[in-house]
Amino acid sequence: MNKPNINVTPLIDVLLVLLIIFMVVSPLKPSSFKTKVPSEPINNPDVRDNPNTLIVVVNADSTMSLNQTSAGTTNESAALVTLLKDAFAARIANGNVSASFGDDPNRPTSDHIERTVFIKAPKTISYGSVARVVDAAKLAGAYPISLQIDRLD
């Protein structure tokens, strides 16, 4: 009597086809995430804050402020968008050109004004609230948007 044996040739053919498909698809994944890591702070007493700095502070009670001006809450960010658009319009009128990001090819706007916005929020705020603030800043035309992580509550 003949012993039955399993023909593995079709199984190997299927595995080789799947291997080729995965080898072709794997380079399509994003391979990097661009970040800018800040350098160590310099303890120089003569260093002054840049007057063009725009900082959105999110408080523990979800209220926001833009450079000490009330800007609504994280759930209702229309006031923040209006304040940022007004600040950018004033910079366009004054011809305030960005020294660092004015010639960036990834810039979403054609003007060369300073549109950098820093967002500072405490650790107790939910991720969704901070994401809504980032979306509001993007809607207003901010570029780049940075998260400020020093001296968090």
Tens digits of residue pLDDT in 4-49: 888 889 899 999 999 999 888 877 666 666 677 767 767 766 666 6
Q: What is the domain partition of the chain in residue ranges?
A: 54-148
Tens digits of residue pLDDT in 59-87: 888 888 888 888 888 888 888 888 888 88
Our measurement of the distance from residue 127's CA atom to the centroid of its chain's CA atoms, rounded to an integer in Å, reads 13
Which helix (H) or strand (E) covers residue 79, if one does?
helix 78-94
**pTM for the structure as a whole:** 0.62
